[in-house]
Structure 1
Amino acid sequence: MKQNPLVRLLITEESPNDAEIYVSVLRNSGYAVRARRIESIDNLRDTLQEKPADMMLCSLVLREVPVDTAYQLIQQWGKDIPIIASSHEQSQDQRRYAMQMGAQDLVSKNDLEHLKLVVERELRHLHERRRLRRLESSVRETERRCRALLDSSRDPIAYVHEGMHIYANPAYLEMFGHQELADIEGMPILDMVVDDDQGACKEALRRFSRGDLTSHEVNLGFVTTEGPEEVTMVLTPATVDDEPCTQVLLQLSEPEADLELLNRQDVTTGLYNRSYFLEQLDNLIARNLDSDGRNSHALLYIQLEKLSHIRDRIGLAAVDQVVAHVAKRITNLVGEHDIPCRLADEEFTILLQHSKIDHAMEVAEKLRQDIEEQLIEVDDRTLAITCAIGAAMVGTNADNAQAAVDMAYAASETALRAGGNQVQLHASGQEIMETQQREAHWRERIHQCLQNDEFYLVYQPVIALAENADWDELYEVRIRMEEDGKEVEPLAFLPYAEQAGLMRDIDRWVARRTVALAGERKRMGKRSRLFVKLDGATLGDTGFLDLLREEIEQHQVDPASLVFQVNEPVVVTQLNQAKALQEGLEALGCKLSLDHFGSALNPFQLLKHLRSDQVKLDDSLTADIEQTEENQKLVKQIIDTAHEMGQQVVAGYLGHPGALALMWEYGADYVQGDFLQEPGREMNYDFSEMVF
């Protein structure tokens, strides 16, 4: 399942309600928020020492944690945590003041849409800075390894700038009878050339430095310790300490294996190196453009995850072993004509020649799964890693290698932001058009289902863990549709309904059908309680309660048999509308349940402002609870506190039988989950006939 991007958030606010609103706004925007409230500078100091963080929302007027002090402390700890200041109102003077104190921007508590945009921007900048630091680290490490390779090479290699030596490896020094680099630093390379060939050497260097050539070979006579020797001088561009220069390779005979390794391959992995890969990709793109794009190729960009943790905990040698292991998996997977490359320390690319989209995605998914499933033995440790893979098709949409790599890289970054360990296809113009067509199709299909009554309901049992004398059966109601004869889950079509503003209509359809069903069950002598989810849009639907009242009267339904569930993060951002709904439901005799409860900073703060009858625990707390001791303690605490406040607790989203025993032990009132029973479709409103 695709995960929302994680944001580790520090919040300093006088009002807990304001802090909860920030968290809910970001959760509703698609972020998985882990928030921590900071109440003092000492608290901030301890948090910076103990917990990682991505961003800080800091009240401009909170004296306990001034913005400038927080900024200075973050800088002292060497952290990259952008600060966004907040206030009830904002002016140009306030914004300037906040930014002078160290904040990146100022947001108003009355403009939550601006808050979302600023957070999105600062997170994007944060990810770019982190990536830049990784790249800089990779460059430094690559230069170090390159220098080690040069020093160990048997071929004489030197670097010259404006004809003067700035570096030479031991083989080069030995060739000309020098002991140390200092002996020839600043010495003209012409001093090593026989007199008759100095003009040819000077001309070759001049043309090369002018940019007329990307590489050049010339046969010259050099004065070595063995006397004048005919040598092939190979010139290629290079950099030393970020300054452009020329690499001079002297070939006394046919290139040997280590020279081939230097020119084409990465030493650690045996894969092709960056320069060779980009050269081959450029050549392929040029041929493809010449052929009017008749050929289709794919490019995969692989970013390894968790390596920074391995580097910090075990060391660089362990990272090299992991990288080498991954390279072997890549080598085993690619085809004969594919070109795998180690592009940077922790990043790989694969050029899949003459590949279609389906094949590229299949290869990417196989590689992702293979890397995830591998256990890597390093010394006495067993390591596991994951990767994010971006895929891009290379046709006529890129006119050079770097543009193609950028597309695949952008897709891999999208995969990382979405939680990592997944494959993401770059959204080309064609794919955007296909997405628009898909959206239009679903909007039309949803309208059709509403107009022709083509939706249907399924029911998942809610199991009481204690004796329940009031109700014979409890079911959660869920909506479905059919498409091409197959059942369609709500996650496949409800996002399109939300985009089209149709969620109110869908909630009304579900409410009408559910009340009719409750009336039918009552006439059959069944005491049934039904749980119905409501979207946030319905909180603002002033006619919903009137419709519900009419349906209840028409079908002679016991209002207490209807429990309406509203997501806690939605309630926090629409509290006044939620209160109006709660009061209306209470007047009718219906019940209110808070779904996804327990994910906020202080979930019980909300219950001081909104009366509910029960809470349903958030899936982040219950999905894998038997494996997470921290969640077990938190769930037990939430259940105990909820009972003290008169709330029943539903432990939903249970994924394994082991969780049932824990919920019984902790005192949950109800449990629900796919492992108990899958939802069954209605059949003449008779649950006894349902096939689960």
Structure 2
Amino acid sequence: MPTHDAVLRLLLVDDRIEDAEQLTSLLRNGGMAVRPQRPDGVDELRQLLATQAIDLVLASISARSLPFDVVVREVQASGKDLGLLAVIEQLDDDVLLDALKRGARDVVLRGQPIQAQLIVRAEAEFVRTRRAVRSLEALLRETERRCDALINSSRDPIAYIHEGMHIRANEAYLEMFGYASFEDIEGLSALDLIAPSHAAGFKDLLKRLSKGEAPPPQLEIKAVDASGAEFDALMEFTPASYEGEACLQIVFRPQLVDASMAAELDALRHRDPLTGLANRAHFMSELERAVAAAAGGRHHQALLLVEPDNYDALIGGIGLAQADDLLKALCARLEGVLDGTTIAGRLSDHRFAVVCRLHDHKATLARAEAIRAAFHGRILEIGDRSLTLTVSVGGVQIGERNAQIDPVLSRAESSLQSAMGVGGDRVEIHDPSARDRAEEERIQAWVQRLRDALDSNGFTLHYQPIVSLSGEPGETYEAYLRLKGNGGEIIMPSTFLPLAQEQGLGPVIDRWVIHRAVAVIAERQAAGKDTTLYVKLGPESISANDQLGREIVDAVRAAGIPGGRLVLELHEPSVFTHLKAIQGFAQTLRTAGVRLALEHFGTGLNSFQLLQHIDADVIKVDRSYITDLAHNPDNQAKVREFAGRARELGKTCVVHYVQDAASMTVLFGIGVDYVEGDFLAAAGPAMNYDFG
């Protein structure tokens, strides 16, 4: 049951379609999800460049139907930022220099799969990065323009300081200090606005800032205005940039309340009222500071996510009324293993997070283990009750390469889910700059968990209805694999299936799914239900076991079910790679009437040509054609074409990933046979959809 990457949109220029298909298969074998297109001439090339979203162009340097120089000219004339790679048969210095001089960014060796995959991956990443940088630069310019306008209109006194000198100040700042215009303060040292009694401390702060130390969030100080009058103020610091220069934004706030009241107000603004930890908003700002520090080269930052294992069962045991007491006790225990280099916050109901500063990977792992050990085997007092619980900790080391909020949170979340998924009471820390034994231990723990699931019924199936638009009798579902968690939770395949495939467990899991599907169909038949099940099958499983077809036929006959009620889905882009094995597999299945479907249909160069080699009964249109279907005439035309051609060939056309009523309306008019998607019903453990 394979998973797939984001699609890479390719334009292939080659004289023979077989060569283009071979190149496509070569890339897919490397784990790349690609959607290729092949122009037949210069007019079609020009049209595709003008109308389609293309990432890379791979052009044969020896093509005659579309010479390489013509391709270079058309790509440059399109004005789009595309990666152009020359496909060559053999590498030597002259060929390489010739390709680069003629406009190629690099060369792809047709007979060297690993080299081709590495070059295509690298160039695709370059293109994405260039596009992202341009987008970010435009966003930054717009943000700076809006920020400047907001600062000008703000009533907060705001200034920008570079190397201790004023480089920008708004009207409120000038008014506060009694200056008529910015010319009066431009180039003036910030130290000149500090009262003599506080000057030494502020000067020391400026020195520390110049050495790269992070500024304090706030500083109570006595300021002095242009007339020499002193007043109490609160300075707030934020790292910033102005006209491309790194600087410091400072906000002066007059102290209108006493210090104790200010501290109380600050606590209310930044603290979670139940646990006393940082609230989500304040914690996220601290995480942003840590990420910014890592991006600036100050390493040894980390994020930990902490969550009690089997929380629902815990609440069921103590009662919902004591949930708050449980959370308060959890946080008190958590704070007991933290220090001044850490900041803890409450992210959601029962999930907590810790930013660790000055923590390399070893220190982060030690901190996470200390948190885990603080709960393992130790009694927690909840009101008048005592209980024991465990926690799982997932984290990520933050460095320059992953210094972005979303990837950091996502990776920490993956680590946490992985730790909980193999039983909990576990620590998993991802360090992008190191490969250590912890990663191998994680992999082996998951492999053992999956083997145990195969041996002890630890997998289960969920079912999503596939609905006939013409009212065909019977009921049809697609079966989706799930893993049972130790606490009764359901673990999605995205958590474990890629690792299972890497470790060679994909074929074994596929066999379990097929045998379970056959048993379910038989159970439904015994209950008087005519149930058809669609089941995903990785082509690698067919190549790995030449007896798989016979095994499935024997299982269907032993169960006494019509073979047509079992539909095996093959990933269309991978079929060419395993074509010979799949052809023999298909012939064997025909003897029992088991049907084949091609999913992700439409992602190949000529998907209907594939049907000449694999006589599939069903085509499932790729989800990329369904996104925003109601407002995309090109996608509507493609789906209409697929449905019409399928009807001519006597094939069933299924459209999945239907998400809204507008798409359903379009599909009714197009004439597809079956539809599937969350708009109709999400996948679930029971087959209870009303097909009536």
TM-score by length of 1: 0.57
Equivalent in the alignment of 2:358? 396
Equivalent in the alignment of 1:65? 66
Distance between the aligned counterparts of 1:650 and 1:549, measured in 2? 25
Alpha carbons of structure 1 residues 294 and 282: separation in structure 2 relative to 1, 3 Å: closer
Equivalent in the alignment of 2:237? none
Equivalent in the alignment of 1:107? 108
Alpha carbons of structure 1 residues 97 and 565: separation in structure 2 relative to 1, 3 Å: same
Alpha carbons of structure 1 residues 655 and 141: separation in structure 2 relative to 1, 3 Å: closer
2:550–2:589 contact (8 Å) kept in structure 1: no
1:406 aligns with 2:397: no
2:59–2:68 contact (8 Å) kept in structure 1: yes
For 2:127, the aligned partner's letter is L
**Partner of residue 481 from structure 2, selected from 479, 482, 489:** 479
Q: Describe the SS at the equivalent of 1:441.
A: helix
Structure having the higher Rg: 1
For 2:673, the aligned partner's letter is D
Alignment of 1:397-546 (within 5 A): 397=359, 406=400, 409-410=403-404, 412=406, 431-432=429-430, 438-466=442-470, 468=472, 472-486=474-488, 488=490, 490-492=492-494, 493-518=496-521, 528-540=531-543, 541-546=545-550
Alpha carbons of structure 1 residues 78 and 624: separation in structure 2 relative to 1, 3 Å: closer
Equivalent in the alignment of 1:573? 577
1:124 aligns with 2:125: yes
Distance between the aligned counterparts of 2:17 and 2:639, measured in 1? 21
Equivalent in the alignment of 2:87? 86
For 1:482, the aligned partner's letter is K
Alpha carbons of structure 1 residues 557 and 623: separation in structure 2 relative to 1, 3 Å: same
1:534 CA displacement:
0.8
Equivalent in the alignment of 1:323? none
Alignment of 1:160-239 (within 5 A): none
Equivalent in the alignment of 1:53? 54
Alpha carbons of structure 1 residues 93 and 550: separation in structure 2 relative to 1, 3 Å: farther
Unaligned runs of 5+ in 2: 154-182, 184-206, 214-240, 247-285, 306-340, 364-396, 419-426, 431-436
Alignment of 1:301-316 (within 5 A): none
Alpha carbons of structure 1 residues 586 and 85: separation in structure 2 relative to 1, 3 Å: farther
Q: Greater CA deviation, 518-527 or 134-143?
A: 134-143
For 2:109, the aligned partner's letter is S
For 1:620, the aligned partner's letter is S
1:392–1:407 contact (8 Å) kept in structure 2: no
For 1:395, the aligned partner's letter is R
Equivalent in the alignment of 2:14? 13
Distance between the aligned counterparts of 1:7 and 1:294, measured in 2? 32
Give aligned pairs, total.
Answer: 561
Alignment of 1:557-572 (within 5 A): 557-572=561-576
Distance between the aligned counterparts of 1:294 and 1:105, measured in 2? 37
Q: Describe the SS at the equivalent of 2:403.
A: helix
Distance between the aligned counterparts of 1:99 and 1:661, measured in 2? 50
Give the CA RMSD over aligned residues.
6.9
For 1:488, the aligned partner's letter is I
2:467–2:691 contact (8 Å) kept in structure 1: no
Distance between the aligned counterparts of 1:414 and 1:638, measured in 2? 41
Q: Describe the SS at the equivalent of 2:596.
A: strand
Alpha carbons of structure 1 residues 563 and 48: separation in structure 2 relative to 1, 3 Å: closer
1:361 CA displacement:
9.5
1:62 CA displacement:
1.6
Unaligned runs of 5+ in 1: 153-180, 182-207, 215-238, 245-276, 298-350, 363-390
Distance between the aligned counterparts of 1:79 and 1:451, measured in 2? 54
Distance between the aligned counterparts of 1:559 and 1:281, measured in 2? 58
**Partner of residue 597 from structure 1, selected from 597, 601, 623:** 601
Distance between the aligned counterparts of 1:130 and 1:435, measured in 2? 33
**Partner of residue 675 from structure 2, selected from 666, 671, 675:** 671
1:580 CA displacement:
2.6
Distance between the aligned counterparts of 1:356 and 1:669, measured in 2? 49
Equivalent in the alignment of 2:385? none
Alpha carbons of structure 1 residues 111 and 145: separation in structure 2 relative to 1, 3 Å: same
Distance between the aligned counterparts of 1:515 and 1:531, measured in 2? 11
1:458–1:679 contact (8 Å) kept in structure 2: yes
1:12 CA displacement:
1.5
Alpha carbons of structure 1 residues 145 and 511: separation in structure 2 relative to 1, 3 Å: closer
1:642 CA displacement:
0.9
What whole-Å deviation, never above 9, does each CA across 1:85-117 have from its counterpart, x for those lacking one?
224555565444433432233223444443332
What whole-Å deviation, never above 9, does each CA across 1:437-467 have from its counterpart, x for those lacking one?
5543332121012223443444444444446
Distance between the aligned counterparts of 1:514 and 1:212, measured in 2? 65
Equivalent in the alignment of 1:609? 613
What whole-Å deviation, never above 9, does each CA across 1:544-600 have from its counterpart, x for those lacking one?
123224334444444344322111122133333322322232344322111222233
Equivalent in the alignment of 1:254? none
1:14–1:62 contact (8 Å) kept in structure 2: yes
Q: Describe the SS at the equivalent of 2:81.
A: coil
Alpha carbons of structure 1 residues 610 and 414: separation in structure 2 relative to 1, 3 Å: farther
For 2:600, the aligned partner's letter is H
Distance between the aligned counterparts of 1:407 and 1:532, measured in 2? 39
Distance between the aligned counterparts of 1:356 and 1:139, measured in 2? 30
1:611 CA displacement:
1.3
Q: Describe the SS at the equivalent of 1:431.
A: strand
For 2:580, the aligned partner's letter is N
1:476–1:531 contact (8 Å) kept in structure 2: yes
Distance between the aligned counterparts of 2:469 and 2:138, measured in 1? 56
1:412–1:423 contact (8 Å) kept in structure 2: no
Distance between the aligned counterparts of 2:668 and 2:137, measured in 1? 53
Q: Describe the SS at the equivalent of 1:444.
A: helix
1:5–1:30 contact (8 Å) kept in structure 2: no
1:648 CA displacement:
2.6
Distance between the aligned counterparts of 1:475 and 1:148, measured in 2? 56
2:28–2:574 contact (8 Å) kept in structure 1: no
What whole-Å deviation, never above 9, does each CA across 1:175-228 have from its counterpart, x for those lacking one?
xxxxxx9xxxxxxxxxxxxxxxxxxxxxxxxxx9xx9999xxxxxxxxxxxxxx
